[in-house]
Amino acid sequence: MSTENKDNVIQQKLARTLHRFESKIVAGDYYEAHQTLRTIANRYVRAKTYELAIELVSQGSTSLLKAKQGGSGTDLIFYLLEIYDQAEVTVDDASIGRLIQLLVLIEPTEPNMKDVITGMNNWSVKFSDYKFGDPYLHNVMALKLLEGEHIYEAERYFMLGTHDSVGKYIELVWDWFVQAVDEDIQKGFNTPQLTLVGSFFNRLIFNYLFISNIKFANEAKEKFLKQYVEEYPDVKYETIAKRIPGQDEDFKLFFFNDCSELNFLQLLILTCQTKNKALFQSLNEQYKELSTKFAPQLEFLGQEYFGIPAQRQSNFLQDMMSGLLGGSK
């Protein structure tokens, strides 16, 4: 039998299996459908015909998720990831695309959702050059986590996502801020936006500066603050534009009379761009209260951009070891 014929026979077999599987799903025999599919997929895996196993398991999972069988559906996703791992499937459009399609079908209330996401991300860490996982996958994961109200996890994946994620991250922080302002107004506070805005805005700026994404930090600054002054017309501010040598666009600073934190954070972006240690120290000196409040964040940035060694609490064991080894530290 020629290879082509053999392939045809296999494809027909696979189609028949899937067909039988679908009829069981339609009949509501979810348990049996799930078990049968797993047994057949096992056979493919043992024969190392991974492509067929992947096809079968991902289609099976799709049908179960569409039939709102979250438990069995996500079980098959875990199985798919096992096969990916065993077959050493690398991250590419097809392998990522398959996971994204499944991810989209999971109900945000599915108890397994966070574990599925972790499993997918671990695979993308292992089989790509991204130490924290694939950015396209992150973008979809973040949206899903947000729907499921896992806000801080969503934030982390947005931060490590694509350009599409920046807009969504800014939107999340903005909506969150507006909700907080409303909450405080209901409690009877006056102009809570002035005291709250910094604690929301700083998340965007710090997170992007941490991963040296100056472009996204600037974008977040621009969009968020523009929206702030537009939607809260009582906020007093003036804009100062400054030409930066060698750059196409001016540095635009929104100077706020009633919120030093916003001023400080904007200046911080520019300071990181210069990598000038003296400027960084002068900024911290001027804003003493804020530099105390943000000590851990600024210590990290000090290390990352200005070569200032972190003053970690001394590690007894490490000190002893370096002493024994004749280290000078």
Nearest CA to 213 among 305, 310, 91? 305
Q: Give dist(CA 5, CA 261) in Å, integer.
A: 70
Q: Give dist(CA 196, CA 228) in Å, integer.
A: 12
**Residue 235 phi, psi (nearest 5):** -70, 130
Q: How far apart are CB 148 and another protein at their closest, in Å? A: 9
Choices 6-14, 112-120, 274-282, 321-329 (CB under 8 A): range interacting with another protein: 274-282
C-beta of residue 181 within 8 angstroms of C-beta of residue 192? yes
256: number of Cβ within 10 Å: 21
Residues 214-253 contacting another protein, CB under 8 A: 214-216, 218, 240, 242-249, 251, 253
Does residue number 109 form part of the binding site for another protein (CB under 8 A)? no
Q: Which residues does residue 10 pair with via DSSP β-bridges, in sequence order?
A: none
Q: Give dist(CA 110, CA 70) in Å, integer.
A: 6
Among 124, 207, 284, 291, binds another protein (CB under 8 A): 207
Q: Which residues does residue 237 pair with via DSSP β-bridges, in sequence order?
A: 256
180: number of Cβ within 10 Å: 16
C-beta of residue 280 within 8 angstroms of C-beta of residue 306? yes
Between residues 33 and 91, which has the closer beta carbon with respect to another protein?
A: 91
Does residue number 329 form part of the binding site for another protein (CB under 8 A)? no
Residues 175-204 contacting another protein, CB under 8 A: 175-176, 179-180, 183, 196, 199-200, 202-203
Q: How far apart are CB 172 and another protein at their closest, in Å? A: 7
Q: How far apart are CB 265 and another protein at their closest, in Å? A: 12
How many residues of this chain interact with another protein, rule: CB under 8 A?
68
Provide the token pair at 289.
């209260």
Does residue number 90 form part of the binding site for another protein (CB under 8 A)? no
DSSP single-letter state for residue 255: E
Q: How far apart are CB 59 and another protein at their closest, in Å? A: 30
Residues 281-320 contacting another protein, CB under 8 A: 282-283, 286, 296-297, 299-301, 304
What x/- string results for residues 18 through 57 when contact with another protein is judged by CB under 8 A? ----------------------------------------
Instruction: Give one DSSP letter per residue of 116-154, joined into a string.
Output: HHHHHHHHHHHTSS-TT--HHHHHHHHHHHHHTT-HHHH
C-beta of residue 204 within 8 angstroms of C-beta of residue 223? no
Q: Which residues bind another protein (CB under 8 A)?
A: 129-132, 135, 146-147, 149, 151-152, 156, 159-160, 171-172, 175-176, 179-180, 183, 196, 199-200, 202-203, 206-207, 209-216, 218, 240, 242-249, 251, 253, 255, 260, 263, 267, 270-276, 279, 282-283, 286, 296-297, 299-301, 304
